[in-house]
């Protein structure tokens, strides 16, 4: 280090190896090295909250794979890709392309299509990974279904069910991380039109006790561009996409869409567009 070099330069370049001058030099040099190491250890190895706004501006025009690489490097081991079992499989392909270690988690709500469960296995086999699955709280799920039945969301909205089956498990998972990576895009919904490529998570708290860093590498990517990449790279995809499904969630709350319909028309179709968020990706309050 510079500090060590400056210390060494204070002495004769070739003192006797066991002279008092040499021993003193070694002690001072070792002290300088310890101080440098302590400073390096004290510095956060991940992207800090203060850096997020500047990073969002800097990374705005980066390619998705570059954003993925930066995310994995900034939070090594303490970041996870959120995989829904739909076209966000491209995130896993991007992580694979970086050559860096990566983790993937999925929310098993207990209400997914059988095709989605099969797709999970396909992805694990293709990339030779193990997806980290999360599950709803059994007592809360039982209480909801016993009191309101299996399809209460058709009557009083999806928020309560999603809160138990998706938001709760996600909150628990994210509390063990410093950052997460999502496949959310600006063109998916009217609630996502100004989504940055990296942001302070508006809601969820990480293992440090502070809000997580949230990366959205596909933010400015269109659905057509996503599918161009999936086809080009030979990435496996959910067979529901061949049956008219575009946005895929739980089986009771997802249906195929017509060619000219927006992809979110197939989700919670009995509610208006402004309410079509399940609580996983609430609109940001700041970057």
> What local confidence, expressed as pLDDT, does residue 96 receive?
98
Q: Which tokens in the block code for residue 85?
A: 């079992």
Residue 133 contacts residue 246 (beta carbons within 8 Å): no
pLDDT tens figures, 8-17: 333 333 344 4
Q: Let me know: does 226 contact 217? Beta carbons within 8 Å.
A: no
Model pTM?
0.77
* pLDDT at residue 21, as a whole number: 55
Q: What is the mean pLDDT of the chain?
A: 83
At 212 the three-state DSSP class reads strand
Q: Is 10 in the active site?
A: no
pLDDT of res. 269: 81
Backbone angles phi, psi at 181, to 5 degrees: -125, 130
pLDDT score recorded for residue 40: 32
Task: Report whether 84 contacts 57 (CB < 8 A).
Answer: no
Phi (first) and psi of residue 172, to 5 degrees: -65, -40
Q: Which is more confidently placed, 170 or 189?
A: 170
Which of these is catalytic: 161, 162, 253, 278? 278
pLDDT confidence tier of residue 108, bands split at 50, 70 and 90: very high
Distances from the Cα of 106 to the Cα of 173, 204, 232, 242, 279, angstroms: 10, 16, 25, 22, 15
Q: Quick one: what percent of the chain has pLDDT higher than 70?
A: 78
Position 98 confidence tier, pLDDT thresholds 50, 70, 90: very high
For residue 280, name the pLDDT band (cuts at 50, 70, 90): low
pLDDT category at 18 given cuts 50, 70, 90 is low
Query: Which tens digit of pLDDT belongs to each residue from 214-234?
Result: 999 999 999 999 999 999 999
């Amino acid at each position: 280090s510079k500090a060590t070099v400056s210390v060494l330069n204070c002495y004769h370049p070739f003192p006797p190896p066991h002279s008092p001058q040499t021993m003193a030099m070694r002690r001072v040099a070792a002290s300088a090295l310890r101080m440098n190491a302590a400073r390096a250890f004290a510095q956060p190895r991940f992207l800090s909250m203060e850096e997020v706004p500047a990073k969002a501006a800097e990374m705005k025009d980066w390619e998705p794979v570059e954003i993925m690489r930066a995310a994995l490097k900034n939070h090594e081991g303490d970041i996870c890709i959120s995989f829904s079992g739909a076209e966000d499989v491209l995130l896993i392909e991007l992580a694979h392309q970086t050559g860096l270690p990566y983790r993937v988690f999925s929310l098993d709500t207990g209400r997914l299509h059988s095709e989605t469960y099969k797709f999970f296995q396909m992805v694990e086999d293709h990339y030779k990974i193990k997806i980290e699955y999360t599950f709803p709280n059994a007592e809360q799920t039982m209480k909801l279904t016993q009191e309101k039945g299996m399809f209460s969301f058709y009557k009083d909205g999806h928020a309560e069910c999603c809160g138990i089956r998706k938001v709760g498990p996600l909150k628990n998972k994210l509390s063990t991380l410093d950052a997460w990576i999502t496949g959310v895009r600006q063109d998916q919904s009217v609630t996502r039109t100004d989504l940055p490529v990296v942001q302070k998570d508006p809601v969820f708290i990480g293992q440090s006790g502070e809000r997580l860093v949230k990366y959205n590498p596909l933010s400015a990517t269109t659905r057509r561009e996503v599918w161009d990449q999936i086809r080009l790279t030979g990435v496996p995809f959910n067979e529901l996409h061949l049956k008219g499904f575009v946005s895929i969630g739980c089986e009771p709350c997802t249906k195929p869409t017509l060619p000219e319909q927006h992809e979110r028309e197939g989700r919670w179709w009995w509610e208006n567009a402004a309410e079509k968020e399940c609580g996983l990706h609430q609109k940001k309050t700041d970057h």
